[in-house]
Structure 1
């Protein structure tokens, strides 16, 4: 029987000059795929504050949260990072449009936690097979076309 978990997070969609800022996942159900920067909401933290904190931690970029554009709910089953058991994850997320609040180089290497690095992906290169379901939903919420 899989271990059941629920994760609630907040994520940012940052598009600049026809590119979207994504991280490459190091673990979890979206391992190896490009995903939206963001993560778990800490006790007492607002979802927009979570987006600002997680963006800085994962990408090195300070952002301003613009508006809530959608929500995400998905159940995934995957092998745990330790390889010892199955996990059934209910992932819930708030999706926000964000903008860069100042010039900064992105973190290109792993963050030692959840990201293998950050990438500015041209929207013309966004394909379902390279994006997490969360990133694909984020693009759908802002009306950005995705190549199939």
Structure 2
């Protein structure tokens, strides 16, 4: 036989609050020209982590670069996991994975390739995209200037 106290507890028990889903577009600042990309990312059938990575890319201003380390720190993940998500970016170059470089300014990988000698067709394309946005590179292909770290 249940006591009247347990009946009252059961009758007044409130449902547990459910966590609110995180938005991929309203809680961060991105340039107006990137808004259509946020919608494409949100509607894609990809993992939540990949969507977070690609959404963060939309914050990086044109003509600036960040590092795998800074991006992974912002996301609370590892640089390798971030690199893997970048490799699977189906929206490149509109969702600008080319704006992520290795620490020290080396270009790192692009389109799933990380060349051992710092050269190759994909790296040539990454250099071209970055130069087209005004990013300066030295004679060894390393990014000159400071990296962007303004993730919100």
TM-score of the aligned structures, taking structure 2 as reference length: 0.23
Q: Comparing both chains, which one has the higher relative contact order based on Cα–Cα distances under 8 Å and sequence gaps of 6 or more?
A: 1
As a proportion of its length, which structure holds more helix? Answer: 2
TM-score of the aligned structures, taking structure 1 as reference length: 0.24
As a proportion of its length, which structure holds more strand? Answer: 1
